[in-house]
């Protein structure tokens, strides 16, 4: 029987914008190692596939309206690759996914660090490939603004290609390490990339051996057209966003439909929409739990949650309608928010309350059975291969899902009852990662 | 009583070029986590100040003469920042020093990763600041060769300045995290760098909180004139290289003498020359142990050890004199080797055998008392504040120093018998790391 995959998005304090104010939260948890350890160990106890860390190379929100930033916990965090390397030592099976930007990095560094994490973790590393769009990030790297969409994606595609090439620098059996003869490796099994492209010129080889997974798992968000194409071509997991089953189905069918031309079987790509799940023993208890956080949203922080896409709406009445944005940023996200507001005729306050938790992702509040129903519907209905769980706060919001929802999914046969396989790639049922240099040689023979 | 500091250089298989062939070595240890864990735990058992990882952003040797590379283990390794983040979880007190290049990195990434490691390790991170000189590294970043010396050092100085500025983005007490009022941090204690210089334009702020040490420890090698100046201005530790006490004294006096103009007290910089120490119960046993490794050096590998500085000498008789180099690379190192060869009238074979272990660093082979004598002489004689131990192979070569030499140093009162203080900065007796933004404000008031 087909079973779903589960990831958890676990950066900082949790997904809800007021998470740090939750009565049971450690308010400085975004810089406490013990907080991250407790979170990942909960996810591993729940047999999750992946522990997923978002990232940005700069402060990830604007101080808009003024005062929002100092009321938010989206200011400081551990750097994901260092944190996951540490967390690899207190876990044994869960996948470790770090986000890293293709816009403000060099492929050699990224190839190295993920390869190193894959070795450290015994084959559990994954890279969430993103481009960086914000001006705050650009200004940390000598630019006033991010490159435009087409250029970012063109660079991202070449970046990923170079990284994969570097990951094939050494064949699996390149290292003989024969003490008697003194031969350390077989030179015929070392491949120098010598990449020359539009964005990068990278000689190689990588100074890290072929990794336990062959290559770390590739995760993408892939919302836009080029993003979807890249996901279909290269990703093992897509972290999707949809509010309704219809949207999820359309996205699922579109991305899976693009895979054939890359010679890929649809099953080898897991589409996992974000899902904020808030369980309670009764529906009332679940809603009461959620209200604890909703009531802690300062209006300035609420407005900031939509300002990133729709601009600063603080001049408009909070309880009036959502105006058409003047200078919308992040177009695909602005459209999601406006669609929500128009569909349900939301005021500005209602809109920010609606997205304050799931940030535009689907939110399900109810009994464990309600949540399992919601997941099963999408999983069996062509909308998802699994879910990236967005705990409203950490670690408690995750522990509730692990302790209440996971057992319900297991009872239904929808989720594993023990870890299987050796690597994250095994766990996901992803394609193996052939070494392109070996493939090319085989084709030539 | 003044006591010495001890570090260990622990990348890969160990310092001797035939280390991977040692009968007791795990020949694939350079990519085995257990090998690194055993090494660092030995160093911590020995109360060492620092576990030090060299690095290069590329393969770190030329295949010169041809066949040398495939007979060497200097091919693959863990990436230092990921490895040290993992090792932070299996140690509690030892300092964690990663090398990172200022030539092929961006300061924002470096500031973030070291700050993150400092948080993960509870204040034990250090950065060995280097420039990258090899063409192999340049070619992984779109260049045919490294920038020239002056440009590399100019960039390095600005790079370090930017990183330090970013480390001061948040004051120690910036985060209020007051759940009741909803104020997460005090905006007056957030400092935006807005650096604009010749090499970098970096806005900041850093998205990592002020670290447990204020700022990670700064380590430098500082051999050249600009390197010495930078060390005097900015370093907490210098990893020096000298063969004789006279050389060590001259270097020590020179660097410490440059500190006053930066308002620094000489004691706040620890000068720690590299030292390959091979102990044995008797001198004969120590020499026999060393010979095990020396006999495992294939002549091609021996020649490669000098080719990096003096060029390929394989056309000359191994047992003839060392010729004047035609195109010497890495001038400061070439000079060290030629001085050695001329001083002791060495043949090519004798020269590579002489440096195959310590790679130009001082090598002492003898009883624990011999080694302690050699260390004490430099330590009390104005040549060193401590030593960076270069184990010929890992982990055994380090374990022998910990078990035999450390107790002898302790008996003499020259080395600690327990860890003290909280952070690496405490352990070294380094200066505190004032936040420049706070200092500037205080000066203005």
Task: Give per-10-residue mean pLDDT for chain B (445 aa).
Answer: 96 93 97 98 98 94 89 95 98 98 98 98 98 94 96 96 97 97 96 97 97 97 89 95 94 97 95 97 97 96 90 94 78 82 93 82 95 98 98 97 98 97 95 86 82
Long-range contacts of A179-187 (CB under 8 A, 24+ apart): A179/B20, A179/B21, A179/B23, A179/B27, A182/B21, A182/B71, A182/B296, A182/B298, A182/B301, A183/B70, A183/B71, A184/B20, A184/B27, A184/B70, A184/B71, A184/B72, A184/B73, A184/B75, A185/B70, A185/B75, A186/B70, A187/B69, A187/B70
Residue B17: its chain A contacts at CB < 8 A? none
Q: Is A227 exposed, middle or buried (0-12, 13-18, 19+ CB in 10 A)?
A: buried
Neighbour count for residue B195 (Cβ, 10 Å): 18
Q: What is the CATH number of the domain that holds A179?
A: 3.20.20.30
Minimum distance, in Å, between the CA of residue A389 and any CA atom of chain B: 24
Is A113 in CB contact (< 8 Å) with chain B?
yes
Tens of pLDDT, residue by residue over A61-73, are: 778 899 999 999 9
Cβ distance B141 to A186 less than 8 Å, yes or no, reads no
* Strand B95-101 to B50-53 pairing: parallel
Packed helices A149-167 and A436-444: angle between N→C axes, nearest 10 degrees: 70
Cβ distance B76 to A207 less than 8 Å, yes or no, reads yes
Name the least confident of A365-369, A436-440, B146-150, B281-285: A436-440
- Assess whether pLDDT exceeds 90 at residue A126: yes
Interface of B with A in 278-297 (CB under 8 A): 296
Minimum distance, in Å, between the CA of residue A322 and any CA atom of chain B: 25
Cβ distance B205 to A23 less than 8 Å, yes or no, reads no
- Assess whether pLDDT exceeds 90 at residue A441: no
Cβ distance B79 to A202 less than 8 Å, yes or no, reads no
Residue B188: its chain A contacts at CB < 8 A? none
> CA-CA distance, B168 to B173, in Å (whole number)?
12
Give me the interface pTM, i.e. the ipTM.
0.96
Is B26 in CB contact (< 8 Å) with chain A?
no
Q: Could you tell me if residue B344 is inside a domain? A: no
Q: Could you tell me if residue A370 is inside a domain? A: yes
Is B17 in CB contact (< 8 Å) with chain A?
no
pLDDT tier at A329, thresholds 50, 70, 90:
low
Is A149 in CB contact (< 8 Å) with chain B?
no
Nearest beta carbon to residue A89 from set B57, B89, B298: B89
In sequence order, which residues have a C-beta less than 8 Å from that of residue B328 and are 6 or more positions away?
B309, B310, B311, B334
Is A263 in CB contact (< 8 Å) with chain B?
no
Q: Could you tell me if residue A26 is inside a domain? A: yes
Q: Could you tell me if residue A287 is inside a domain? A: no
Q: Are B167 and B115 in contact (CB under 8 A)?
A: yes
Minimum distance, in Å, between the CA of residue B59 and any CA atom of chain A: 5
Nearest beta carbon to residue A79 from set B33, B182, B208: B208
Cβ distance A182 to B59 less than 8 Å, yes or no, reads no
Nearest beta carbon to residue B119 from set A21, A31, A140: A31
Q: Could you tell me if residue A351 is inside a domain? A: no
* Exposure letters B31-61 (e unless 16+ CB within 10 A, then b): bebebbbbbbbbbbebbbbbbbbbbbbbbbb
Nearest beta carbon to residue A75 from set B23, B105, B207: B207
Residue A298: its chain B contacts at CB < 8 A? 182
CA nearest to B298 within chain A: A182
Minimum distance, in Å, between the CA of residue A30 and any CA atom of chain B: 10
Q: Could you tell me if residue A296 is inside a domain? A: no
Q: Could you tell me if residue A108 is inside a domain? A: yes
Tens of pLDDT, residue by residue over B115-150, are: 999 999 999 999 999 999 999 999 999 999 999 999
DSSP state of A325: P
Cβ distance A79 to B136 less than 8 Å, yes or no, reads no
B190 bridge partner residues: B170
Is A170 in CB contact (< 8 Å) with chain B?
yes
What are B373's two structure tokens?
């004598």
> CA-CA distance, A332 to A309, in Å (whole number)?
9
DSSP state of A208: S
pLDDT of the residue at A195:
98
pLDDT tier at A358, thresholds 50, 70, 90:
confident
Residue labelled with tokens 């040692």: B22
Tens of pLDDT, residue by residue over A146-201, are: 999 999 999 999 999 999 999 999 999 999 999 999 999 999 999 999 999 999 99
pLDDT of the residue at B328:
66
Structural domain for A141, as ranges? 5-281+362-444
Residue predicted with more confidence, A307 or A97: A97
N- to C-terminal Cα separation, chain A: 40
Nearest beta carbon to residue A33 from set B23, B120, B185: B120
Q: Could you tell me if residue B438 is inside a domain? A: yes
Interface of B with A in 192-211 (CB under 8 A): 200-209
Nearest beta carbon to residue A112 from set B27, B79, B90: B79
CA nearest to A295 within chain B: B182
CA nearest to A113 within chain B: B79
Cβ distance A184 to B73 less than 8 Å, yes or no, reads yes
Q: Are A333 and A309 in contact (CB under 8 A)?
A: yes
Is A79 in CB contact (< 8 Å) with chain B?
yes
Minimum distance, in Å, between the CA of residue A119 and any CA atom of chain B: 7
- Assess whether pLDDT exceeds 80 at residue A265: yes
**Number of structural domains in chain A:** 1
Q: How many CB pairs under 8 A join A and B?
A: 201
Residue A109: its chain B contacts at CB < 8 A? 57, 105, 109
> CA-CA distance, B310 to B340, in Å (whole number)?
13
Cβ distance A82 to B298 less than 8 Å, yes or no, reads no
Q: Are B385 and B379 in contact (CB under 8 A)?
A: yes
Residue B90: its chain A contacts at CB < 8 A? 89
């Amino acid at each position: 029987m087909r079973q779903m995959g589960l990831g958890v998005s676990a950066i900082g304090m949790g997904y809800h914008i007021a998470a740090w104010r939750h009565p049971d939260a450690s308010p400085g948890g975004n810089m406490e190692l013990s907080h991250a350890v407790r979170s990942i160990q909960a996810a591993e106890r729940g047999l999750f596939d992946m522990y997923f860390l978002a990232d940005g190379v700069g402060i990830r929100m604007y101080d808009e309206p003024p005062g929002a930033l100092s009321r938010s916990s989206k200011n400081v965090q551990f750097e994901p690759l260092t944190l996951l390397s540490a967390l690899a030592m207190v876990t044994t099976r869960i996948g470790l996914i770090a986000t890293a930007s293709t816009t403000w990095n060099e492929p050699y560094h990224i190839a190295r660090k993920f390869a190193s994490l894959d070795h450290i973790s015994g084959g559990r590393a994954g890279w969430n490939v993103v481009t960086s769009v914000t001006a705050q990030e650009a200004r940390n790297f000598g630019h006033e603004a991010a490159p435009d969409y087409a250029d970012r994606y063109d660079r991202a595609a070449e970046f990923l290609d170079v990284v994969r090439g570097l990951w094939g620098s050494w064949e699996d059996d390149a290292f003989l390490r024969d003490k008697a003869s003194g031969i350390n490796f077989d030179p015929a099994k070392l491949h120098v990339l010598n990449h020359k492209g539009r964005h990068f010129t990278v000689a190689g080889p990588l100074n890290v051996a072929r990794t336990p997974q062959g290559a770390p798992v590739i995760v993408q968000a892939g919302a836009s057209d080029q993003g979807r194409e890249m996901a279909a071509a290269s990703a093992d997991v897509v972290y999707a966003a949809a509010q309704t089953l219809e949207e999820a189905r359309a996205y699922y069918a579109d991305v899976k439909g693009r895979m054939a031309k890359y010679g890929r079987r649809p099953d080898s790509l897991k589409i996992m929409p974000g899902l904020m799940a808030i369980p309670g023993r009764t529906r009332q208890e679940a809603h009461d739990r959620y209200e604890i956080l909703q009531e802690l949203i300062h209006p300035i922080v609420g407005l900031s949650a939509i300002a990133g896409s729709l601009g600063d709406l603080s001049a408009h009445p909070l309880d009036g309608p959502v105006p058409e944005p003047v200078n919308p940023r992040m177009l695909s996200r602005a459209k999601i928010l406006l669609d929500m507001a128009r569909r349900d005729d939301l005021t500005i306050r209602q809109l920010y309350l609606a997205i304050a938790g799931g940030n535009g992702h689907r939110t399900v509040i109810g009994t464990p059975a309600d949540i399992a129903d919601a997941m099963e519907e999408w999983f069996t209905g062509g909308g998802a291969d699994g879910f990236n769980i967005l705990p409203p706060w950490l670690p408690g919001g995750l522990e509730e899902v692990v302790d209440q929802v996971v057992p319900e999914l297991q009872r239904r046969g929808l989720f594993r009852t023990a870890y299987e396989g050796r690597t994250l790639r095994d766990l996901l049922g992803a394609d193996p990662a052939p070494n392109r240099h070996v493939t090319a040689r085989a084709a030539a023979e």
